[in-house]
Amino acid sequence: MNIYCKTLFLFAITLLGCNEKKVEGKAKEEVKLKGSIIKSDFGSTPDGSVDLYTIANERGMKVAITNYGGIVQSLMVPDKTGVLLDVVLGFDNIEGYLGEHPYFGAVIGRYGNRIAKGRFTIDSLDYDLATNNGPNHLHGGDKGFDKVIWTAEQSMSGEGFPQLKLRYVSADGEEGYPGQLSVEVVYTLTDDNDLRIDYTARTDKTTHVNLTNHAYFNLAGVDGDDILNHEMKLEASKYTPVDNTLIPTGALAEVADTPFDFSSFTKIAKGIDADDRQIKYGGGYDHNFVLDEPSMALPFVTVRSHESGVIMKAFTTEPGVQFYTGNFLDGTINGKGGVVYGKRSALCLETQHYPDSPNQKDFPSTLLKPGETYRSTTAYRFQVMPSL
């Protein structure tokens, strides 16, 4: 290459470089944060101190999340009068979350829901997990992902929505599960009033993964009435009946003509105390529904409260949802503002693979192998009833 060519070549490279920088600069200028995130101290736990991240969007909706257990501590949504209402159960401070409570607002893992007798087998190796729910394993064991401190990073989605990225590395053998599992849970608050949760995980040994969030919703506000007057429409024509320890029998049963039929808007109260064996096993609803068409485009469920005018729609990529009506809440927990959380004062819609999948060969598999990425997304969208 002569000097002339070399100069031309260098000039071209420089131009290319500049161009690249310009494109980068432009992209950064275009996307502005649509909302805000404020970090505050949330106190200390035996494993270290934790923070509370309050995320707001430009429409005024707010969510507060702590990196202890990835817990959604409050979710403020506008009601029919425009006033912000807190629609999730929880506590005002970390002390509440360190005490006994039924997973209020937490990330659940490594396996959300029950595994029969706390046992499963992978590649002829048997694994034994804690039996922390009668004879069964529930929600990841004695110290699941709801009780660990997550590393938190404030971030922004490609569209400019505020995000909180939480990361946790679960050691090989933690709570009896095989493989080191690296988990990321990203909470995003969009300007559609969606609280979107994206879960990803990777493992170095074949393991079972089923992540979810255990928010307890009361759309009339957490200091309001119970959820018996809420109405729900659920796109699930089947559910997984259970035995008396709430382990699926393996069958998929039709909801038609049973108290499990929510194919049109139905008051929760209607079937919750029905004279039905399945209802009796759960003390109300505590069952996994098989979603007809899981998708992020169409809601699988719509719940509404005429009292507040708040509507919640939820979307998911998961094949199932555990619909739990807070049957085991018994008035012994004093939550935010000292409010007593009584029986059925909230409902949970825990998106997931079906319970006990590791032992049910006909259910969609929850196995995750090295080299694969576990992905799951759920969004809860809040609106106000149009007719009000």
Q: Which is nearer to ligand BGC, 35 or 284 (CB)?
A: 284
Sign of the alpha-carbon torsion through 207, 325, 297, 196:
negative
CB of 109 to ligand BGC, least distance (A): 13
Size of the site for ligand BGC (CB under 6 A): 9
Task: Single out the residue of 103, 161, 187, 300 in contact with ligand BGC (rule: CB under 6 A).
Answer: 103
* Beta strand spans in 301-345 (E): 301-304, 310-316, 320-324, 333-334, 340-341
CB of 298 to ligand BGC, least distance (A): 24
Q: Which is nearer to ligand BGC, 116 or 189 (CB)?
A: 116
Q: Which is nearer to ligand BGC, 156 or 253 (CB)?
A: 253
350 makes contact with ligand BGC (CB under 6 A): yes
Q: Are 149 and 47 in contact (CB under 8 A)?
A: yes
Query: Which token pair is 107?
Result: 């990330």
CB of 17 to ligand BGC, least distance (A): 54
Q: How far apart are CA 162 and CA 34, in angstroms?
A: 7
Work out the end-to-end distance of the chain between its first and last CA atoms, rounded to an integer number of angstroms: 77
Q: Which helix (H) or strand (E) holds 28?
A: helix 3-30
Q: Looking at beta carbons, which residue is closest to ligand BGC?
A: 102
- Binding residues among 276-335 for ligand BGC as defined by CB under 6 A: 286, 322, 324, 328
Contacts of 229 (CB under 8 A, 6+ apart): 220, 267, 268, 269, 305, 306, 307
322: Cα within 13 Å, side-chain hemisphere? 28
102 makes contact with ligand BGC (CB under 6 A): yes
CB of 36 to ligand BGC, least distance (A): 32
Q: Which is nearer to ligand BGC, 221 or 320 (CB)?
A: 320
Which residues carry out catalysis?
Answer: 214, 350
Query: Which token pair is 35?
Result: 């909302």
Q: Which is nearer to ligand BGC, 193 or 351 (CB)?
A: 351
Binding site for ligand BGC (CB under 6 A): 102-103, 113, 246, 286, 322, 324, 328, 350
